[in-house]
Amino acid sequence: MGINIFIFVWFYLSYDLGDQFFYTRHLLSSGLPWARAPAAVLNFNCMLILLPVCRNLLSLIRGSFMCCSKTLRKQLDKNLTFHKLVGYMIALMTAVHTIAHLLNVEWLNNSRQGAYDELSTILSQLEDTNSTSYLNPVRITNVQIPTRFAFSSIAGLTGVIITLALILIITSSMEVIRRNYFEVFWYTHHLFIIFFAGLVFHGAGRIVRSQQRTNPLHNVSYCKDRSDDWGTLPECPIPQFAGGFPQTWMWVIGPMFLYLCERCLRFIRYMQKVTYRKIVMRPSKLEWHPFTMTSAPEEDFFSVHIRSAGDWTNKLIDIMQQLPEGAQGPKFPTGLMGVDGPFGTASEDVFDYEVSMLVGAGIGVTPFASILKSIWYKFKDSDPKLRTRKIYFYWLCRETHAFEWFADLLQVLEKEMEERGMGDFLTYKLYLTGWDQSHTTHVMVHFDKETDVITGLKQKTHYGRPIWDKEFEQVRKENPTSAVGTFLCGPEALAKVLEKKCAKFSDVDPRRTKFYFNKENF
């Protein structure tokens, strides 16, 4: 935000006070700085907008560079939030820039018709000699509709295209559309190609013109009141004007190249062979969705668990049901599915903390399945690099059958830790947030069993939601001098609660317990 404000103020003052724009300001008044300052901010933000969605670049930064600190990695995990904020700034500056130029076109047209003072009329009538003399880009003397100029010039035509593309991109990005009509969001978002193409050519018209140096020099302060003597007085040669060199392409060419490399790399990965070894549960050609792997890096395969929650996932399940185990997936151009990734996320940092709190809600448990598996493998291999000494795992679910696929993993971990004398390493609590009367009756009948009636685990399932104050207080009490990483994969409402709890239960003394909040973002 600070950089945006600096760029806006700097360019506003440059166009509002610069001597080379004195005559231009006479025609456009404050419309000149109010058009050019937002344009400069637009260039800066259009340079940034593509970088947060270069997932391979972000994974390289967060995973490969040892100098990438914990704080920086946390900021990288907020890439989509940053992408949205930059988009909002682009929308705001586009609105200001467009309104200012609509007023400018009106004022230029009126000046060309002689509707204002004598100086405005003379400036508008300067002849076009090798595209250097004239100031007013409206060259037609007969009265015309100002919007006609907007559709007949390079800057105007590309401006209309850019604005329409941006409107479609922003409106289709609203959450209600993104959640319920993802394909609309997906396809309209690819109008960014048209947006950037129009952006590169937008300044080629050079309609904002500034005074050029002449020999002898045209003294503005002396000559502005002697327009009738221009060309006759030695101090007042006819002023020369030229449009500014287009600069937008210099701002965006780098990010555009990086994003092109990103898409090429994704395409190469997409073309790789994918063999389906096991299908547990019996989409659009260009639509992609991120899913968290449930397999560990130590395994020679990767797995994902996908909840059926819409047209795309239902169609994906239909495709998978038709594939026998061991079959190769359908491929481009005739197929419908490819695999890209993996990309690093906040959960990678679990192993950087001695103590970690893992909180999963519903299908949000998937990243922690991978983490717990990886920890299990590291214990089996006696990995000396494993710093983690304590994990608290919380899983919140509304339905009992959701626990089934994950219970097996927890049982294996339970047994493994007990055999190694590390039963206290993993503390897990499963919370069932939805149940009916028949389920309650079943639990009451089997209450005396040593294992839980739902999961078969020794740890009994809790009913309702966690009392987070109690949980955080317990973790703080058991780990009085530790940095505790708190990781969530779940809804935004729960994220706000946990973030507040991390701040509340963190001690001001750096030698005492401090909680660090991390959230998976998609």
Q: Which pair of structure tokens corresponds to residue 479?
A: 């780990």
- CA–CA gap between residue 199 and residue 42 (Å, rounded): 10
Other beta carbons less than 10 A from residue 275's beta carbon: 10
Domain boundary assignment for the chain = 1-153+207-264, 347-520
Q: Which of 86, 92, 103 shows the shortest CA–CA distance to 29?
A: 103
Say what the pLDDT of residue 338 is.
Answer: 66
In angstroms, the CA 21 to CA 192 distance is 33
d(CA 255, CA 47): 6
pLDDT recorded at residue 40: 93
Question: What CA–CA distance (Å, rounded) separates 111 from 121?
Answer: 6
Report how far apart, in Å, the C-alpha atoms of 122 and of each of 108, 125, 205, 218, 255 are. Answer: 12, 5, 22, 15, 44
Write phi, then psi, for 479 (nearest 5 degrees). -135, 70
Half-sphere exposure of 410 (CA within 13 A, CB side): 26
Before 237, cis peptide (omega within 30)? no
Task: Say if residues 471 and 479 touch (Cβ distance below 8 Å).
Answer: no
Residue 391: strand, helix, or coil: strand
Q: Is 160 exposed, middle or buried (0-12, 13-18, 19+ CB in 10 A)?
A: middle
Nearest to 350 by CA among 301, 291, 390, 384: 390
In the chain, how long is the greatest CA-to-CA distance? 109
Tally of residues, the chain: 522
Q: Which residues make Cβ contacts (< 8 Å) with residue 419, sequence separation at least 6? A: none
DSSP state of 297: T
Walk across the sheet containing 483-489 and list its strands.
Answer: 462-463, 426-432, 390-397, 355-361, 483-489, 514-519
For residues 97 and 248, what is the distance between their CA atoms, to the nearest angstrom? 14
Cβ atoms within 10 Å of 444's Cβ, excluding its own: 9
pLDDT of residue 148: 72
Sign of torsion over alpha carbons 44, 49, 55, 59: positive
The CA distance from 113 to 233, in Å, is 27
Judge contact between 304 and 294, C-beta under 8 A. Answer: yes
CA distance 329 to 337: 7
Domain topology for 347-520: Rossmann fold (3.40.50)
CB 200 within 8 A of CB 254: no
Question: Positive or negative CA dihedral for 257, 260, 266, 272?
Answer: negative
C-alpha distances out from residue 139 to 268, 299, 309, Å: 51, 71, 58
Between the CA of residue 489 and those of 82, 393, 395, 522, what are the distances in Å?
19, 12, 10, 10
Cα gap 259→318, rounded to integer Å: 32
Distance of CA 141 to the CA centre of its chain: 48
User: For the chain, what is the radius of gyration of the CA atoms?
Assistant: 31
pTM attached to this predicted model: 0.68
For each of the chain's 522 residues, which pLDDT tens digit applies?
889 999 999 999 999 988 888 888 889 888 899 999 999 999 999 999 999 888 888 877 776 655 556 666 777 778 888 999 999 999 999 999 999 988 888 888 888 888 888 888 888 888 766 656 788 888 776 656 666 776 778 888 899 999 999 999 999 988 888 877 777 888 899 999 999 999 999 888 788 888 888 888 888 888 888 888 888 888 888 888 888 888 888 999 999 999 999 888 888 877 776 665 554 443 445 455 666 677 777 777 777 777 666 666 777 777 777 766 666 555 544 445 566 666 666 667 777 788 889 898 876 677 777 887 787 777 777 777 777 888 898 988 876 666 666 666 677 777 777 777 766 777 888 888 776 555 555 555 455 566 665 566 666 777 788 899 999 999 999 988 888 988 888 888 888 999 999 999 988 887 888 898 888 755
Find out whether the peptide bond into 342 is cis, omega within 30 degrees of 0.
yes
pLDDT at residue 255, rounded to an integer: 92
